[in-house]
Structure 1
Amino acid sequence: MQFKVALVSLFAAMAIAAPGLEKRCTADGGSCTQLSQCCSGNCEYDSSIGLVCKPAAKMMEKRCTANGGSCTQLSQCCSGNCEYDSSIGLVCKA
């Protein structure tokens, strides 16, 4: 019986804390360094402001990181490769 009460209490605590556990992300137009920071769309290069979250093209379902952005695997890059740069670590490069 005590176990059931403890279990119910645990789930209740998780439900209360859940809003704080939601994924935090950057909306379209905000700066980014990698795809995972964007709520939706891609982390793309904008010549005037650098890397920003932009909506993905309707035809393009793949979300990706532009060259110069951080990556951990090739599939994250829009084009080019995920390569090691000694000054900043793994980045997408053409």
Structure 2
Amino acid sequence: MTPWFLYLIRTRSGTLYTGITTDVQRRFSEHQSGGPRAARSLRGKGPLELAYAAKVGDRTRAAQLEYALKRWPRTRKERLVAGKIHLDDIEP
């Protein structure tokens, strides 16, 4: 079973984009390139920084966590990036 990851990318303006993937480096490179596989919301907003990545289990769990994190306020996401809270403590 291929592990899934949850990641956060910081844009030039400081916005945090949340996504899931099985290969963080490949997906980050796709976002940085700005090509057809990059998220539209990140195009032209570079330079991009991979702010956070964590293995979260299977695709279902990854999607649940992504859904939950996209509803978090920025301050809570920043606490996750800083290591002040952990995904293990979160119920999706």
The bucket for the TM-score relative to the shorter chain is under 0.3
Length-normalised TM-score, structure 2: 0.22
Higher relative contact order (CA 8 A, sep 6+): 2
Higher helix content, 1 or 2: 2
CA radius of gyration, larger in: 1
